[in-house]
Structure 1
Amino acid sequence: MENQELIQFGLLVKKRRLEQNLSQEQLALSCDLDRTYISSIERGKRNVGLLNIIKIAKALNVEPSQLLTFDGYLNG
């Protein structure tokens, strides 16, 4: 079962990653996570823990809260 919040989080991660012209592999290496984990996050298949949200945010040079702001980003 898909959860809208997980999908929205994944879309925001992907958006930020693409804005910085990073591949999933590059992002994964930057935050010491596996590329398949990043892929599953971007597809809304993972319920990401707080420490990994912080790692991803640091690798993307954004505040963690910027990855958790969903209002208006995806209507559903």
Structure 2
Amino acid sequence: MRKENAIYIGEVIKRIRSEKGLTKEELAHDSELDRSYMSDLDTNKKGPLLFTVFKLAKGLQMEPK
């Protein structure tokens, strides 16, 4: 897959977080994640492990699919 066509998980997290009116700090707290790790996810510096996806879904009040 070409990079410009890829959808990065961080972009999805950031979009949903913004739609729900949450800051990175609020989502990190609600997801029981470190604020700096949340920032790395938000900017695609890191990708989440599956366990982290479930924590993020909980923090966003969503079901992981």
Indicate whether the TM-score tops 0.5.
Answer: yes
How does 1:19-38 map onto structure 2 within 5 Å? 19-38=19-38
Match of 1:10 in 2: 10
Q: CA deviation at 1:63?
A: 2.1
RMSD: 1.7
Q: Which consecutive aligned stretches of 4+ in structure 1 deviate over 2 angstroms post-superposition?
A: none
How does 1:31-50 map onto structure 2 within 5 Å? 31-50=31-50
Match of 2:57 in 1: 57
Deviations 1:7-66 (A, max 9, x none): 61000000110111101000000011111111100111112111111000111122222x
The gaps in structure 2 that reach 5 residues or longer are none
How many positions carry a matched residue from both structures? 62
Aligned partners of 2:27 and 2:59 also within 8 Å: yes
Query: What is the percent sequence identity of the aligned residues?
Result: 35
